[in-house]
Amino acid sequence: MARDRTRFVCQSCGAAHPKWQGRCDGCGEWNTLVEESAAPRAPGPAGKAPPGRGLDFVGLGGESAPPPRHLTAIAELDRVLGGGFVPGSAVLVGGDPGIGKSTILLQAAARMASAGKRVLYISGEEAVAQVRLRARRLGLEAAPMALASATALRDILASLERERDAALVVIDSIQTMWLDALDSAPGTVAQVRACAAELIRCAKARDFALVLVGHVTKEGTLAGPRVLEHMVDATLYFEGDRGHQFRILRATKNRFGATDEIGVFEMTEGGLVEVANPSALFLAERRGNISGSAVFAGLEGTRPVLVEVQALLSPSNGGSPRRQVVGWDGGRLAMLLAVLEARCGLTLAQADVYLNIAGGLRINEPAADLAVAAALVSALTDKPTDPDAVYFGEVGLSGEVRQVAQAESRLREAQKLGFGGAVLPRRVARGSKAPPAISGLRLSEIGHLADLVAPFAAGGVKRRTRENAA
């Protein structure tokens, strides 16, 4: 009789090791190896597998109809998904505890059920009474959706195999599911991988949309094996702070739509309410006559978004100056401070710098460099920026301001919200497209960061001189 083989699998990255050790060689994490039983090999000599079926190859010139969609009646969620749930697809939804994952999925499931679709909601973390209590609080108790509480994967698959007309199945969460064929505990790498694979296989065979809710680690990444994100068709992340009313749903992967698309929601007593115009929401509490503030015309997926960039400088009390950043890349802030000192002659090395993106949104695109630089110079000189202007542009190490994509969409969003001007990169390349002329919007093109600093010189910019540098 063949003896059972065991291995030690890292619960952070999924790397397998022949014996236990304190540190994983794959990801460097400590105390993450858990003993699991290896799957037995199929009987028979190697190389004697039955022959496979041949493939039917087709050309690239054919046409395929776009996939059908199941609309959720939540416009922001449909936008992130690319137009709704695709039958036979698998969607992974992650986020911090209490951020609103179960709430938004319960709302979407209830609305789809009210529209006549067959919707199944399976909770592995809460009892049926708890889900009913949340539905009553959200005013969804009359929705004709099917609800169950279970964690045994065999029971769940047996129920799904009997379903003929299911349109949406929600599993909350994948870390609570367990397969009795494996000896490992629920939530381990082997269990998560095997349970997800079986559920996705059933979704493809029965042609229903599958939603898997995933836990996140303390670093904010999805818990479990990284292969889980490769198995699904779309990965959605909920961003935001539980102490903040705004929630951002971001698509980091989508085989049926645009990536980096966002949906903006507001948490209320009646659940998550979609925000049709997030730019107006992010700028609702802005005061234009305060130094250290600039409006950035950004782009999230296909949607232009205007947000306020806030900067505060204070004298350092000695030692290393602080660099505190919320909503932006701290390394990029350090680079921008170095460019302002080396190329524009500003004195920033001895000041504590605090930077904040108002509204809880996290900005990743380099186009925010110019808005951040304007906020920093404004805070240094104690002179407000133009309250009627928006800023966007990428800053290079030599101080040049580089062009960014989709300038027209950014400018039209600024015009729609009543702004009268924009500071943007100058067109320098031969044949490059000129900035679009939009009525009622004055454009200020700059080619170097010194052109941005020059208007603040009358406000008392602290420039370094050769004597001070010496």
Same domain, 119 and 145: yes
Q: What CATH number does residue 247 fall under?
A: 3.40.50.300
For residue 89, what pLDDT band results from cuts at 50, 70 and 90?
Answer: very high
Query: Of the candidates 275, 291, 322, which is a domain's last residue?
Result: 275
- Exposure string of 87-117, with b = 16+ CB inside 10 Å and e = fewer, is bbbbbbbbbbeebbbbbbbbbbbbbbbeeeb
How wide is the angle at C-alpha 423 spanned by C-alphas 422 and 427, nearest 5°? 115
Same domain, 268 and 306: no
Residue 220 has pLDDT above 70, yes or no: no
Query: Of the candidates 219, 248, 275, which is a domain's last residue?
Result: 275
Between these two residues, 381 and 435, which has the higher pLDDT value?
Answer: 381
For residue 207, what pLDDT band results from cuts at 50, 70 and 90?
Answer: very high
Same domain, 125 and 257: yes
> Tell me: the pLDDT tens digits for 55-81?
889 888 878 888 899 999 999 999 999
For residue 203, what pLDDT band results from cuts at 50, 70 and 90?
Answer: very high
For residue 1, what pLDDT band results from cuts at 50, 70 and 90?
Answer: very low
> Tell me: the pLDDT tens digits for 127-178?
999 999 999 999 999 999 999 999 999 999 999 999 889 999 999 989 999 9
What integer pLDDT is reported at residue 4 of this predicted model?
Answer: 57
Residue 309 has pLDDT above 50, yes or no: yes
Question: Under the phi-then-psi rule, with left for phi > 0, alpha for psi from -120 to 50, and beta for the rest, what region is 201?
Answer: alpha
- Domain span holding position 25: 6-37
Same domain, 208 and 165: yes
CA distance 268 to 278: 16
Q: What CATH number does residue 307 fall under?
A: 3.30.230.10
> Tell me: the pLDDT tens digits for 36-48?
766 544 444 445 5
Same domain, 224 and 94: yes
Taking only Cα atoms into account, the Rg of the chain, rounded to an integer number of angstroms, comes to 27
Same domain, 133 and 28: no
Same domain, 231 and 139: yes
What integer pLDDT is reported at residue 461 of this predicted model?
Answer: 46
What integer pLDDT is reported at residue 29 of this predicted model?
Answer: 81
Residue 405 has pLDDT above 80, yes or no: yes
Same domain, 268 and 292: no
What integer pLDDT is reported at residue 242 of this predicted model?
Answer: 66
Residue 331 has pLDDT above 90, yes or no: yes
% of the chain residues with pLDDT over 90: 56
| Side-chain half-sphere CA neighbours of 171 within 13 A | 30
Specify the 3-state DSSP secondary structure of 96: coil
Query: Of the candidates 275, 301, 331, which is a domain's last residue?
Result: 275
Closest CA to 179 of 160, 192, 163, 166: 192
Q: Is residue 220 situated within a structural domain?
A: yes
Q: Say how many Å lie between the first and final Cα of the chain, rounded.
A: 81
What angle, 0 to 180 degrees and rounded to 10, lies between the N-to-C axes of helices 128-138 and 101-114? Answer: 80
Q: Is residue 94 situated within a structural domain?
A: yes
How many structural domains are present in the chain? Answer: 3
Same domain, 305 and 253: no
Residue 14 has pLDDT above 80, yes or no: no
Same domain, 84 and 232: yes
What integer pLDDT is reported at residue 223 of this predicted model?
Answer: 59
What integer pLDDT is reported at residue 318 of this predicted model?
Answer: 76
Between these two residues, 441 and 242, which has the higher pLDDT value?
Answer: 441
Q: Is residue 44 situated within a structural domain?
A: no
CA distance 341 to 61: 55
Q: Is residue 43 situated within a structural domain?
A: no
What integer pLDDT is reported at residue 288 of this predicted model?
Answer: 73
Q: Is residue 230 situated within a structural domain?
A: yes
Supply the mean pLDDT for the chain. 86
For residue 466, what pLDDT band results from cuts at 50, 70 and 90?
Answer: very low
Q: Is residue 449 situated within a structural domain?
A: yes
**Once rounded to an integer, what is the mean pLDDT over residues 268-293?**
86
For residue 243, what pLDDT band results from cuts at 50, 70 and 90?
Answer: low
The pTM of this model reads 0.79
